[in-house]
């Protein structure tokens, strides 16, 4: 079962279809006819499907409902429960008697009386008054019973194989981003498990015998800080012994390949099967691969595809097959099945419509940086070039910085290529997929990462004769917005820049955003807040050098971006204008940090139009 999403531009909305694919024949059968639906789940008896939907909720409402469709009968969905503030996750119990949900509970108030941080969170708005409770739902009566008390912040949960217990991770309100582990009995008793190390957990799974838990988490007590990789940990529920299953795997156990063409992810990040043991995704050199590991053995790649990146996966407890989605730099996600012994079968062909267009393949490259490190990159040429001609081009930078470019479909890149631009992009220092040492630029933003990008610029200019060295732009968002700002305050080599959801002043970002108070302290302040180490926060802020900018700059930001708040754009834009720079500020209302990936369709189109227009104005003259 899977979802596929299309855009209804006229109504400015996304339409998602839930469908069932038959692994043997590839036949696709629609379960719903399209709507604001997501996260389908099989009822354990296989005779019905449940899903989350916003049917019946208005544009400004946060609520959602659970619906059920009985297969073989009328496909008209039946609402089984309604949640005024919505749910963030749900799972059927193995017995099919109950559904566990993470329910959002918000105390609305006109005047905000705030006593904890973060005040707000990207994509959610104010969260100081928000709790995420674990609750049990009777799917037949629609009644819910809340398991957690107080105001918890449940991140992820999993049922035990016998359906009697639920293990869940919740953010430590006093020490975010640390998470704590709890085990709840369905009768309401909850026990906290005292872990021997501080972890930032993101998902977990129960062993088939119910005696251990496997947890994906980043250790928070290593010298690498937030540059450390997520690892797989095994917790013995008898002895409470915690053991790392991936100590020698110097790669991140999570998917960090960039793409602007994904739907909503609802699959688990980790699974446990009889055939393959613990299964998880690993980001490696521009691709995400499917790995597995067993106790006492080394982790190994279970499924890796040439020129493709695995995005999500699911498997039954037997592990007889694994279904997954995968994309490439030239195709969005399709559904595949791993049938064992190296056999992979493509199940869906939802993107055949792209065959009508000439989609060019990026040209892969590596170069040796001045300090001896190998840096990976790509150059996407436009589909039509005259022999011997030179085209304008744009150097793109990825966010994170612990993310990576690679085999991820980027519509934005192909749009620019179709408009006659080449697009170049690389994974400089700070990127994921090449080990913790490569990724660790904490306290050194704008140093080795900046050098890698400029040396990549030199390499492309020297080795790709179709790019015009005099007509090159630079663009990026989030960390890449910081880097775009940093670049244009340090060099005039770029004829135009587009900085998006950017960072210009680290001190204000520390206290105005959802993760700034711990992210900035670790990544910029070397573990210290700005009042203890103001010098580094100021030195790493592009705003301080705004008087050096000569590059025409388009500044794009969202009004409700709580990851990099609007003040970052306003500060930088104001400084540019006061220093006589050709600058333009575009603000998108009712959008957050993820505008380029999941914003309202018309806003996404308008954003792309602004970018193309800016580069055509400044690079095609």
- Quickly count: other Cβ atoms within 10 Å of residue 228's Cβ: 19
Q: Which residues touch 122 (CB under 8 Å, ≥6 apart)?
A: 514, 561, 562, 563, 592, 593, 594
CA 89 to chain CA centroid, nearest Å: 16
Query: What DSSP string describes 379-409?
Result: EE--S---TT--EEEEEEE-SSSS-B-SSS-
How far CA 347 is from CA of 324, 333, 336, 447, in Å, comes to 10, 11, 5, 45
Please report the sign of the dihedral spanned by the C-alpha atoms of residue 254, residue 257, residue 258, residue 264.
negative
- Quickly count: other Cβ atoms within 10 Å of residue 502's Cβ: 29
Active site residue 133: no
Helix/strand/coil for 237: coil
Residue pointed to by tokens 């790995």: 291
Catalytic residue among 38, 156, 431, 478: 478
How far CA 295 is from CA of 171, 181, 214, 218, 299, in Å, comes to 28, 21, 11, 19, 9
SS (H, E, C) 589-603: CCCCCCHHHHCCHHH
Catalytic residue among 133, 414, 593, 618: 593
Residue pointed to by tokens 């030195």: 539
Active site residue 478: yes
Answer whether 607's CB lies under 8 Å from 595's CB.
yes
Token pair in block for residue 369: 């940086």
Closest CA to 218 of 402, 375, 397: 402
Please report the sign of the dihedral spanned by the C-alpha atoms of residue 538, residue 543, residue 548, residue 551.
positive
From first CA to last CA, the distance across the chain in angstroms is: 50
How far CA 82 is from CA of 37, 62, 133, 267, 367, in Å, comes to 14, 12, 15, 22, 55
Query: Which residues participate in catalysis according to the annotation?
Result: 478, 593
């Amino acid at each position: 079962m899977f979802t596929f999403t299309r855009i209804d531009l006229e109504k400015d909305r996304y339409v998602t279809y839930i469908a069932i694919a038959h692994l043997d024949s590839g036949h696709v059968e629609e379960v719903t006819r399209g709507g604001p639906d997501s996260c389908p789940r099989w009822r354990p008896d296989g005779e019905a499907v449940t899903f989350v939907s916003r049917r019946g909720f208005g544009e400004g409402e946060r609520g959602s409902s659970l619906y059920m469709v009985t297969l073989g009968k009328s496909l008209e969905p039946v609402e089984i429960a309604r949640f005024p503030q919505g749910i963030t996750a749900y799972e059927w119990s193995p017995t099919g008697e109950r559904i566990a949900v993470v329910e959002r509970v918000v105390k609305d108030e006109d005047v905000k009386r705030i006593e904890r941080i973060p005040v707000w969170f990207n994509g959610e708005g104010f969260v100081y008054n928000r709790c995420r409770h674990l609750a049990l739902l009777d799917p037949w009566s629609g009644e819910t019973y809340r398991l957690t008390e107080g105001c918890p912040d449940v991140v992820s949960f999993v049922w035990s194989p016998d359906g009697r217990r639920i293990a869940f991770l919740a953010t430590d309100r006093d020490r975010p981003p640390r998470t704590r582990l709890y085990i709840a009995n369905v009768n309401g008793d909850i026990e906290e498990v005292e872990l021997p190390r501080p972890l930032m957990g993101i998902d977990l799974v129960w062993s088939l015998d119910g005696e251990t838990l496997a947890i994906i988490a980043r250790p928070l007590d290593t010298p690498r800080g937030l540059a450390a990789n997520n690892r797989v940990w095994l917790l013995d529920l008898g002895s409470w012994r915690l053991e790392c299953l991936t100590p020698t795997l110097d790669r991140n156990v999570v998917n960090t390949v960039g793409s602007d063409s994904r739907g909503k992810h609802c699959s688990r990040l980790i699974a446990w099967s009889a055939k393959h043991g613990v299964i998880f995704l690993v980001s490696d050199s521009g691709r995400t691969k499917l790995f597995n590991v067993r106790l006492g053995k080394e982790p190994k790649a279970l499924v890796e595809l040439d020129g493709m990146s695995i995005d999500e996966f699911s498997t039954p407890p037997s592990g007889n097959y694994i279904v997954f989605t995968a994309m490439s730099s030239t195709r969005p996600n399709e559904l595949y099945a791993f049938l064992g012994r190296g056999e992979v079968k493509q199940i869906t062909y939802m993107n055949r419509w792209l065959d009508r267009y000439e989609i060019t393949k990026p040209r892969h490259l590596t170069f040796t940086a001045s300090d001896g490190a190998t840096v990976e990159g790509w150059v996407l040429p436009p589909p039509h070039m005259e022999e011997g001609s030179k085209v304008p081009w744009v150097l793109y930078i990825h966010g994170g910085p612990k993310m990576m470019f690679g085999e991820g479909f980027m519509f934005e890149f192909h749009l620019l290529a179709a408009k006659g631009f080449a697009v170049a992009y690389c994974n400089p220092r700070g990127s994921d997929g090449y080990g913790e040492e490569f990724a660790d630029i904490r306290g050194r933003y704008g140093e080795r990462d900046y050098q890698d990008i400029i040396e990549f610029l030199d390499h492309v200019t020297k080795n790709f004769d179709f790019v015009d060295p005099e007509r090159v732009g630079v663009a990026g968002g989030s960390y890449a917005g910081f880097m775009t700002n940093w670049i244009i305050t340090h060099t005039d080599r770029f004829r135009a820049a587009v900085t998006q959801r950017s960072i210009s002043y680290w001190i204000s970002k520390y206290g105005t955003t959802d993760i700034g108070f711990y992210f900035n302290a670790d990544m910029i302040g070397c573990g210290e807040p700005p009042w203890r180490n103001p010098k580094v926060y100021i030195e790493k802020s592009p705003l301080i050098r705004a008087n050096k900018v000569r590059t025409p700059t388009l500044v794009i930001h969202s009004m409700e971006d709580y990851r990099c708040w609007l003040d970052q754009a306003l500060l930088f834009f104001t400084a540019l204008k006061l220093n006589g720079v050709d600058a333009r500020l575009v603000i998108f209302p009712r959008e957050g940090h993820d505008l380029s990936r999941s914003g309202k369709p018309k806003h996404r189109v308008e954003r792309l139009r602004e970018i193309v227009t800016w580069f055509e104005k400044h690079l095609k003259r």
